[in-house]
Amino acid sequence: MSTTVKLQVQRYIPEKQPDPFYQEYDVPFNKKWVILDALNYIKDNIDGTLSFRWSCRMGVCGSCGMMINDEPVLTCAKFLEDYMPGPIRIAPLNYFGVIRDLVVNTDGFIDNLRRVKPWLITDEVKPVSEGEYKQTPDQKDEYAQYSMCINCMLCYSACPVVGLEPEFVGPAAIALAQRYNYDSRDEGQKQRHEELLAEGGIYSCTLVGECSVACPKGVDPAEAIQRYKVTGAAEWWESVVMPWKNK
């Protein structure tokens, strides 16, 4: 087994060079190291100008997502050993504007989250003195899977529709909308439907399914989208055969 591994890291330094380029670094091979450890080694010992995001190093914050050998992954969850003997090619996530090196602009993603109103919406908020909004375990199970999303954006980089249709709200946003639509305490489904049944909503999805393959938390955004399509179709049919219900 080699004592070192070569990392080919995409660099983008707009004030010096207008186009991205790849820079190679040789780092020590350690069986216990994940990709993020190797990037931190470069930052601390070889090239302090390298820029990338990370926070928790535990697969929870979702901030260290990158393209590793053209696959969107959390760099804190993939070991160097999995890519030996190398080289390992590291690039920023697909379909996001690059700010610097491996750091992408997440403004569009945040805007898409806001579009689906991923919070509890109620017609009336009861006073605290009246007690909790209670749920049964079965009611919680309805949305628990979708609540596991950590906003890592890997599903966006895996989705070809995101690359072709910038207005597409995207898999994570739709899964988070479903998280609240299936919550027994929520009454905001109609507001979300107006957004997600419009252009750039659920019907932009072509069911490639790569979003669910890329998801590190098993959220299965593809399933969330297809369930939403069934709901949307049922509501449309109901509006045709029973139009008085929408008045």
Cβ-contact 228, 178 below 8 angstroms:
yes
Q: What is the pLDDT of residue 128?
A: 86
Is the predicted pLDDT of residue 9 greater than 60, yes or no? Answer: yes
Measured distance CA(169)–CA(205) in Å, rounded: 10
pLDDT in tens, 173-215: 999 999 999 999 999 999 998 889 889 999 999 999 999 999 9
Where is average pLDDT lowest: 55-64, 71-80, 94-103, 225-234? 225-234
Q: What is the pLDDT of residue 247?
A: 57
How confident is the prediction for the chain on average, in pLDDT? 93
Q: What is the pLDDT of residue 1?
A: 58
Sign of the alpha-carbon dihedral angle for 105, 107, 109, 110: positive
How far is C-alpha 148 from the chain's CA centre?
A: 11
Q: What is the pLDDT of residue 244?
A: 67
Report CA dihedral (74, 79, 85, 89) to the nearest 10 degrees: 20
Instruction: Say whether the peptide bond before residue 87 is cis (omega within 30 degrees of 0).
Output: yes
Cβ-contact 155, 214 below 8 angstroms:
yes
Question: What is the pLDDT confidence band of residue 32, given thresholds at 50, 70 and 90?
Answer: very high
* Domains of the chain with bracketed CATH: 4-104 (3.10.20.30), 107-246 (1.10.1060.10)
Please report, rounded to a whole number, the percentage of residues in the chain having pLDDT higher than 90.
Answer: 82
Measured distance CA(148)–CA(170) in Å, rounded: 16
Measured distance CA(154)–CA(93) in Å, rounded: 7
pLDDT in tens, 93-112: 999 999 999 999 999 999 99
Question: What is the pLDDT confidence band of residue 242, given thresholds at 50, 70 and 90?
Answer: low
Question: What is the pLDDT confidence band of residue 245, given thresholds at 50, 70 and 90?
Answer: low
Average pLDDT over residues 123-151: 92
